[in-house]
């Protein structure tokens, strides 16, 4: 579908490219990692790959539209692999791959400059939507005002 091609790195794949395929989670399955839907939010670019003893750091640049959903110690799926944000910058983020993840995924086969699919955690997107939502008849007004915050010593 055009939506998939526009949001993912599918257009960059060639015959023989490695991809991750997993069976869908069932409700009887043990849940490890975070919930991943497989709905790609966009792509990032690998900026650095650095060895650190037995771990490997991946630095991935992403657009501001995606970075706003990425939080330190939060979850992200990179090419479908659930990982934890270990460092966060203004234009990029870092994840640290343990040897097991490196062995069982294709992430360490990637090169600097390659694109990866990114799926941000859904919770941030739900919060953003709820905070912006209002009806035309009755605009939603927040109870959090500057006066309220000052009254309770938050300012």
| CB-CB contact of 81 with 40 (8 Å) | no
Number of Cβ within 10 Å of residue 81's Cβ equals 21
Nearest to 56 by CA among 93, 109, 99: 99
- CA angle in degrees (0–180, nearest 5) for 55-58-64: 150
Structural domains of the chain, with CATH: 2-121 (2.40.30.20)
Where do we find the tokens 């990179």?
Answer: 78
> Per residue of the chain (155 residues), what is the pLDDT tens digit?
788 888 888 888 888 888 877 777 777 877 766 777 878 999 999 999 999 999 999 999 999 999 999 999 999 999 989 999 999 999 999 999 999 999 999 999 999 999 999 999 888 888 888 888 765 666 667 778 888 888 888 88
Q: Which residues pair with 46 in a beta bridge?
A: 60
């Amino acid at each position: 579908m055009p939506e998939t091609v526009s949001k993912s790195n599918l257009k960059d794949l060639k015959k023989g490219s490695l991809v991750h395929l997993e069976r869908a989670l069932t409700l009887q399955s043990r849940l490890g990692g975070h919930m991943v839907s497989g709905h790609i939010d966009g792509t990032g670019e690998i900026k650095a790959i650095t060895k650190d003893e037995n771990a490997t750091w991946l630095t991935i640049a992403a657009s501001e539209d995606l970075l706003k959903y990425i939080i330190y110690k939060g979850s992200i799926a990179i090419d479908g692999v659930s990982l934890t944000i270990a460092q966060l910058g203004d234009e990029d983020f870092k994840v640290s791959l343990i040897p097991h993840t490196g062995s069982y995924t294709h992430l360490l086969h990637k090169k600097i400059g390659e694109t990866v699919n990114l799926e941000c955690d859904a919770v941030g997107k739900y919060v953003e939507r709820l905070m912006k939502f209002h009806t035309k008849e009755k605009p939603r007004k927040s109870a959090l005002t500057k006066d309220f915050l000052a009254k309770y010593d938050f300012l």
